[in-house]
Amino acid sequence: MDQSTPHRTEASPTEASQTKASPTEAQAVTGWAMPVITLLGVAAAIVAAFVGSGALGGTPVAEAAGGALSADATPVAPAGSAFGIWSVIYLGLIAYALWQLTATARRSARQRALRPWALASVLLNAAWIWTVQLDQIAASVVVIVVLLGVLVRIMYLLGAPRTGGAVELVVTDGTFGLYLGWVSVATLANTFAWLAAEGVDPVTEIPLGLVGIVAAAGIGLATALLSRGRVAPALATAWGLAWVAVGRTEGRFESGALVWTAAVASAVVLVVAVLNWLRVRRVTPPRQDASLPSRS
């Protein structure tokens, strides 16, 4: 052998493959402690919320605190049927709590960052229900504002690459998107209810009701435009605004102006979200699942 010739060893196909896949393989696997705590916490919070809502007897939330949060309490209160969205959100949270136990989720840095915030969100929701049941409307506003902040943080965290494909998209992005969109509307309605209970009369008048609806639509539009083409938050916001429109067709705050403003606001939020989703899909190349090694 010519000693002057540099000796070069070619990596075998197997070794090359292992080297190439090492970034994925090197992902830390989360232990069982936090996933199990998240599962138990979500389950406990949903049970607490279910009991506190009056579903098993007792006072329904709409009738608690002297009816401050009833469907006819303020001009921006959604009709009672709007709260059916919680069934979808709770089912999504249960699916998320189970899915995040899987090996795929326990290898995901995205899910590792999400778990504490997801747990905080369900605990805050249960706390909100019980503050209302204890007639603490002012405290309920503080809790729901904090909950809204947590959900905004969750949407930021969900900007990281997914590792679970379509399942993760539905049970995580879809669930928390609906959660954020609904809580955005509920925060405004809750604030109006608190002010009305404190005797701030302007919030029970039609003009400020119109301002409140426009504000809710503005929040929905901002979320749609800043959430990288996500449609789920806008769906829930549009749902809430649509039921505000339905609620204003009769009762104490019956008003054609409120009906049309809420209905148009609902449609605008949804249309803008869909158009933004189409725009993002058109200008952004398909993102490869982060669990797969990239192609050379």
pLDDT in tens, 96-142: 999 999 999 999 999 999 999 999 999 999 999 999 999 999 999 99
Rounded to 10 degrees, the C-alpha dihedral 146/236/209/192 comes to -30
Contact 62, 68 (CB under 8 A): no
Rounded distance between C-alpha atoms, residue 30 and residue 235, angstroms = 33
CA-atom Rg of the chain in angstroms: 24
Cα angle at 101 between 86 and 93, to 5 degrees?
A: 5
Task: Name the pLDDT band for 172 (thresholds 50, 70, 90).
Answer: very high
Residue 231 has pLDDT above 90, yes or no: yes
- CA separation (Å) from 55 to 42, 52, 72, 236, 277? 18, 8, 20, 22, 37
- The pLDDT tens digits for 33-57 are 999 999 999 999 999 888 888 777 7
pLDDT at 15: 43
**Under the phi-then-psi rule, with left for phi > 0, alpha for psi from -120 to 50, and beta for the rest, what region is 229?**
left
pLDDT at 287: 53
User: CB-based burial of residue 6 (10 Å sphere; 0-12 exposed, 13-18 middle, 19+ buried)?
Assistant: exposed
Which pair of tokens denotes residue 260? 């049309």
User: CB-based burial of residue 250 (10 Å sphere; 0-12 exposed, 13-18 middle, 19+ buried)?
Assistant: exposed
Rounded distance between C-alpha atoms, residue 103 and residue 264, angstroms = 45
16/221: higher pLDDT:
221
Least confident of 58-72, 150-164, 179-193, 223-237: 58-72
Q: For 59-72, what is the mean pLDDT?
A: 85
- Predicted TM-score (pTM) of the model is 0.85
Nearest to 208 by CA among 222, 219, 195, 223: 195
- CA separation (Å) from 216 to 67, 120, 154, 162? 22, 24, 20, 30
The DSSP call for residue 201 is G
Residue 60 has pLDDT above 90, yes or no: no
pLDDT at 285: 63
Q: For 254-259, what is the mean pLDDT?
A: 96
